[in-house]
Amino acid sequence: MTRRDLLTSAAALAGTAALQAQPASPKLKIAIFSKHLQFLQGADLAKAAKDTGAEAIDLTVREGGHVEPARVKQDLPPLVKLLHDAGLDTPMVTAGILDATTPFAADILGTLNDLGIKYYRWGGFKWEKNKPIQQQLDELRPRVAALAALNAKYQATAMYHTHSGVGQVGASIWDLHEILKGQDPNLVSVNYDIGHATIEGGLGGWIESFRITGQHLKGIAVKDFIWQKNAKGVWVEAWQPLGTGMVKFPQFFDMVRTSGFNGPLQLHFEYPLGGAENGKAKDLTMSPTDILAAMKRDTTALHNLLAAAKLA
């Protein structure tokens, strides 16, 4: 073998080793948000979620949800078992927890720990108009630290959900960066909603707000929208079926893959859906068959986006 052959072989081996050393892209499972199936309970809920093509479910454990906080110890375990028996994972719940003083917070976290559910969605802080932002940031940090301490006791990760809108803490996401700075991301973190983030920063703001989450990125929520004028001629956001709006999903999921994200991925249905978009349990104006068909269409679209980004 010549010196050139040896060098060529060595380079090929090095290239192969480098490829083998690269971590494989995480394969993400779609968790359907149970708010939109509030009109179904028990076995019907499990069947409907499974029929959409989702692999998991994000359960509402809050007032008016599938599980009431006051009954979390009694009602959540059998529901989770039923969902698991139907082949659905339960990686997280959406809880009505604002901070460590929220009623039944310890009951919820203790039950999640017993069931092996690590993640829950948390949030809802509002900015006060007549108080400096910096002062409010300083006041929020100890509240978040107290919640982190409670989470440590129950081995739970709280994911602050990012909404859009005036007065919403977390809308810019940079404010969350300041609030969470120095906190253990395994205790308090971010649930990044790409729909709301695009509303707040449609050109490039959403890109930087995604990047700034860093290690605190533990959950992602997916929805789509467009801007349109309402009856008064005012421009407002209008939620749309997945892939028909303004969110740049191919670019976003490429960034998700590069980030190494491997947390709960939640699919929301906020566009007009006969009342299901608002979590109504009765007085629906669409048939359940049509509602579930729309959900299945979006779930399929998300599966395709994940596959294109090598995340499925």
Its domain, for residue 122, covers 28-308
Distance of alpha carbon 130 from alpha carbon 97, whole angstroms: 25
Q: What is the pLDDT of residue 1?
A: 57
On whether residue 118 sits in a domain, the answer given is yes
43 lies in some domain: yes
What pLDDT is attached to residue 253? 98
148-180 pLDDT tens trace: 999 999 999 999 999 999 999 999 999 999 999
Give this prediction's pTM.
0.91
The reported pLDDT for the residue numbered 2 is: 60
**Residue 208: pLDDT above 90?**
yes
Query: Percent of the chain, pLDDT > 90?
Result: 91
Name the token pair of 254. 């490429």
Angle at CA of residue 188, ends 141 and 98, nearest 5°: 70
Structurally, how many domains does the chain consist of?
1
Q: Would you state the structure tokens that stand for residue 291, as one six-digit string? A: 């509602």
pLDDT reading at 6 higher than 80: no
Given a contact cutoff of 8 angstroms between Cβ atoms, the answer to whether 174 and 209 are in contact is: yes
- 18 falls in which pLDDT band (50, 70, 90)? very low
CB count within 10 Å of CB 25 equals 17
CATH number of domain containing 127: 3.20.20.150
Share of the chain above pLDDT 70, in %: 92
- Decide if 23 is inside a domain: no
Q: 48-63 pLDDT, tens per residue?
A: 999 999 999 999 999 9
Q: Is residue 155 part of a domain?
A: yes
Would you say residue 131 lies in a domain? yes
Cβ atoms < 10 Å from Cβ of 43: 12
**pLDDT score recorded for residue 7:** 47
List, in order, residues 6 or more apart from 85 with CB less than 8 Å away: 46
Q: Is residue 2 part of a domain?
A: no
pLDDT at 13: 52
Quick one: residue 238, left, alpha or beta (phi over 0 = left, psi -120 to 50 = alpha)?
Answer: beta
Cβ pair 247, 225 in contact under 8 A: yes
Question: Does residue 287 sit within a domain?
Answer: yes
Q: Alpha-carbon torsion 71, 161, 39, 112, what sign?
A: negative
What is the spatial distance between Cα 306 and Cα 24, in angstroms, rounded to a whole number?
Answer: 14
Q: Mean of the pLDDT values across residues 257-263?
A: 96
The pLDDT of residue 247 is above 80:
yes
Amino acid occupying residue 244: T
Q: How much is the average pLDDT of 181-191?
A: 98
